């Protein structure tokens, strides 16, 4: 090399060289400049953030340029917060960023950019702006939440897949789905579509239309593709495709790209997952929940049945134990009733019949006395009458010297007029009768 | 004396059988119980208990058979 110093002149130590380099880099062109690049290998250590900024070839993704960068601990949180506020996501590897930095040279660590600020809107970028516009339009159309509001069928077993034929993502999905240890019987039908490039949206819509014509044969749609480069994802940021997904009558699971790659489909689909494998896992978990619910129901049924049976058993045993006692008690109660009746009867005899009897007896006695008195009174009266009768009798009159005159036919003559001359009369005296003929009547 | 008429136990539902059993026991405990019917009641109650118990046993066996299919697979 012309102009090179001869090597016998005094050589530079690394330190001296570094010092020269550091001096050469201390120029205003490298001081506080805005730099754009993709963030890779971001890592935190001792509060500081270390990373690399790279430029990749748009077609091959090969790294064309790379430089180390650092955020010191005193400003790293502030930059992270600002970025998150502006973009809605954390500062992380894989993002395209615009940072304010100063090129610094350190004897041990070499050249690096010390970052002091970040421009989040750069990262949001053109693609993101377009994405937001699409979402705003879907919202204005009133369709943005339709697919997410759909009721998931139970269980989700019949799956229509929109994917490229032979794609690794589809293989991952099917492998995962059928390797479930629980042997859930999924049925999968592939509707092939172009999953990258300009025909993506049109092709996916055609596949959805084909599924829509047989909508009763499926429980859900799964749209998947392999990782691919992030630029490919922009073909999914399509209004027509997003509107189709949003209004699709079956729930749509979107598994396009990876965590950091979002498309508008992720906002309208009923379910978004990071990878095809994750889509399969989600379906398996959901079916597993159904199985678990069934098993739980079975356990509940068993428990309820067992409980009811135990209750029935207890009740029967109780009745069984009670029956003999109850029967004997009934007999004893009846016997007691009989005894009571007997006692009551005895009581009735004592309280009613005996007094009645004695009353009857007394009445008999009284009757005897009374009747005797009546008889004797009657006798006395008779005796008295007889005495009177004796005193008043014709015999007594006759004895006193009177006589009775009758006609021969027995008719008593009480006046002289009754006795005509020639009449035969019979005169009765106390000591006998004389018969006479009336010879003179005066 | 009017003899109570009993439905054959086989024709009763479990619930009806238990309800009848309960009612018989209550009758037997009360003063309404006719001594002439006591033996009949006791026999009927015994019959009901035997029938209910046999049905429980059968049901239990059936339950076990049915639910055996639902136990988690290995």
- Exposed/middle/buried for A85, CB within 10 Å: 0-12, 13-18, 19+? exposed
Q: Report the distance separating Cα A287 and Cα A75, nearest Å.
A: 48
Report, as an integer, the average pLDDT of A395-406: 80
Number of helices followed by number of strands (H, E) in chain A: 10, 13
Q: Report the distance separating Cα A34 and Cα A14, nearest Å.
A: 30
Is residue A114 within 8 Å of A72, Cβ to Cβ?
A: yes
pTM for this predicted structure: 0.47
Average pLDDT, chain A: 85
Report, as an integer, the average pLDDT of A176-192: 87
pLDDT at A126: 58
Q: Report the distance separating Cα A258 and Cα A252, nearest Å.
A: 17
Chain A residues in contact with B73 by the CB 8 A cut-off are 183
Distance from CA of B4 to the nearest CA of A (A): 17
Tell me which of 2.40.50.140, 2.60.40.10, 3.40.1280.10, 3.40.1190.20 is the CATH number of domain A14-118.
Answer: 2.40.50.140
pLDDT at A425: 86
Q: Name the residue with higher pLDDT: A227 or A199.
A: A199
Is residue A416 within 8 Å of A381, Cβ to Cβ?
A: no
Chain A residues in contact with B49 by the CB 8 A cut-off are 316, 319-320, 323
Is residue A263 within 8 Å of A273, Cβ to Cβ?
A: no
pLDDT in tens, A265-282: 999 999 999 888 899 999
Q: Which residue of A has its CA nearest to B71?
A: A295
pLDDT at A229: 45
Distances (CA, A) of A376 to A370, A371, A383: 10, 9, 10
Q: Given A301, A323, A331, which is nearest B45 (Cβ)? A: A323
Chain A residues in contact with B67 by the CB 8 A cut-off are 298, 301-302, 305
Distance from CA of A289 to the nearest CA of B (A): 14
* Structure token digits, residue B63: 């339950």
Report the run of H or E that residue A106 belongs to, with start and end: strand A96-106
Kindly state whether B46 is in contact with chain A, defined as any CB-CB distance less than 8 angstroms.
yes
Answer whether the bond into residue A276 is a cis peptide, omega within 30°. Answer: no
pLDDT at A220: 95
pLDDT at B40: 87
Q: Determine, for residues B25 and A309 on separate chains, whether the beta-carbon distance falls below 8 Å.
A: no
Percent of chain A with pLDDT over 90: 30
Kindly state whether B6 is in contact with chain A, defined as any CB-CB distance less than 8 angstroms.
no
The answer to which of A117-131, A302-316, B43-57 has the lowest mean pLDDT is A117-131
CB atoms within 10 A of CB A346: 10
Rg (CA), chain B: 17
Rounded to the nearest 10 degrees, what angle do helices A276-348 and B35-68 cross at?
170
Q: What angle is formed at CA A325 by the lines to CA B41 and CA A340, rounded to 5 degrees?
A: 85
Which SS3 state, helix, strand or coil, does residue A36 take? strand
Output the CA torsion sign for A357, A361, A362, A363.
positive
First to last CA, chain A: 242
Domain spans of chain A, in order of start: 14-118, 133-289, 390-413+424-432
Longest dimension (CA), chain B: 65
Output the CA torsion sign for A25, A26, A29, A35.
positive
Q: Given A319, A331, A333, which is nearest B21 (Cβ)? A: A319
Tell me which of 3.40.50.10550, 3.90.1150.10, 3.55.10.10, 3.40.50.970 is the CATH number of domain A133-289.
Answer: 3.40.50.10550
Q: How big is the A-B interface in CB pairs under 8 Å?
A: 62
Nearest CA-CA partner of A156 in A186, A178, A179: A186
Dihedral of the CA atoms A394, A395, A397, A400 (nearest 10)? 170
- Exposed/middle/buried for A244, CB within 10 Å: 0-12, 13-18, 19+? buried
Q: Given B25, B31, B35, which is nearest A319 (Cβ)? A: B25
Residues in chain A whose beta carbon is closer than 8 A to a beta carbon of chain B? 183, 294-295, 298, 301-302, 305-306, 309, 312-313, 315-316, 319-320, 322-323, 326-327, 329-331, 333-334
* Structure token digits, residue A221: 């749609």
* Chain Cα centroid distance, residue B2: 23
First to last CA, chain B: 65
Is residue A378 within 8 Å of A370, Cβ to Cβ?
A: no
Q: Report the distance separating Cα A263 and Cα A169, nearest Å.
A: 17
pLDDT at A108: 85
Q: Give the number of residues written for chain A.
A: 442
Q: Which residue of B has its CA nearest to A292?
A: B72
The answer to which of A125-129, A229-233, A298-302 has the lowest mean pLDDT is A229-233
Q: Determine, for residues A312 and B35 on separate chains, whether the beta-carbon distance falls below 8 Å.
A: no
Confidence of residue A420 (pLDDT cuts 50, 70, 90): confident
Q: Given B18, B28, B49, which is nearest A326 (Cβ)? A: B28
pLDDT at A348: 79
């Amino acid at each position: 090399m012309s102009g090179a110093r001869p090597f016998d002149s005094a050589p530079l130590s690394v330190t001296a060289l570094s010092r020269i380099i550091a001096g050469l880099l201390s120029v205003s062109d490298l001081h506080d400049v805005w730099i754009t690049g993709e963030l890779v290998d971001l890592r935190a250590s001792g509060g500081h953030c270390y990373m690399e900024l790279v430029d990749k070839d748009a077609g091959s993704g090969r790294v064309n340029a790379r430089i180390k960068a650092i955020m010191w601990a005193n400003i790293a949180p502030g930059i992270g917060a600002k970025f998150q506020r502006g973009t809605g996501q954390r500062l992380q590897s894989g993002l395209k960023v615009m940072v304010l930095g100063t090129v610094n040279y350190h004897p041990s660590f070499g050249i690096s950019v010390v970052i002091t600020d970040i421009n989040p809107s750069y990262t949001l970028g053109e693609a993101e702006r377009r994405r937001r516009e699409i979402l705003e339009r879907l919202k204005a159309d009133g369709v943005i939440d339709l697919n997410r509001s759909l009721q998931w069928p139970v269980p989700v077993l019949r799956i229509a897949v929109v994917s490229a034929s032979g794609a690794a993502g589809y293989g991952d999905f099917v492998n995962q789905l059928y390797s479930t240890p629980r042997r859930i019987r999924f049925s999968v039908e592939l509707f092939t579509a172009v999953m990258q490039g300009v025909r993506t949206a049109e092709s996916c819509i055609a596949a959805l239309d084909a599924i829509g014509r047989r909508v009763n044969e499926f429980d859900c749609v799964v749209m998947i593709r392999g990782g691919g480069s992030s630029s490919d994802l922009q073909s999914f940021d399509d209004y027509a495709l997003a509107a189709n997904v949003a209004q699709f009558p079956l729930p749509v699971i979107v598994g396009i790209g990876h965590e950091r790659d979002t498309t508008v489909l992720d906002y309208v689909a009923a379910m978004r997952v990071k990878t095809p494998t994750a889509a399969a896992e989600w379906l398996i978990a959901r079916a597993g929940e159904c199985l678990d619910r069934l098993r739980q129901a079975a356990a509940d049924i068993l428990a309820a049945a067992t409980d009811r049976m135990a209750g029935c058993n207890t009740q029967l045993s109780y009745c069984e134990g009670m029956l003999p006692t109850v029967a004997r008690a009934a007999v004893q109660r009846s016997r007691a009733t009989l005894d009571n009746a007997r006692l009551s009867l005895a009581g009735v005899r004592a309280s009613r019949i005996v007094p009645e009897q004695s009353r009857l007896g007394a009445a008999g006695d009284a009757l005897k006395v009374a009747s005797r008195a009546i008889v004797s009174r009657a006798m006395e009266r008779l005796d008295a009458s007889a005495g009177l009768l004796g005193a008043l009798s014709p015999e007594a009159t006759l004895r006193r010297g009177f006589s009775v005159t009758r006609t021969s036919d027995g008719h008593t003559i009480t006046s002289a007029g009754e006795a005509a001359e020639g009449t035969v009369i019979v005169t009765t005296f106390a000591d006998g009768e004389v018969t006479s003929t009336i010879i003179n009547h005066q | 004396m009017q003899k109570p008429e009993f439905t054959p136990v086989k024709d009763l539902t479990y619930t009806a059988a238990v309800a009848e059993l309960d009612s018989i026991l209550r009758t037997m405990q009360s003063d309404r119980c006719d001594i002439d019917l006591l033996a009949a009641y006791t026999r009927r109650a015994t019959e009901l208990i035997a029938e209910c118990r046999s049905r429980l046993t059968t049901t239990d066996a059936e339950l076990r058979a049915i639910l055996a299919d639902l136990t988690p697979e290995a």
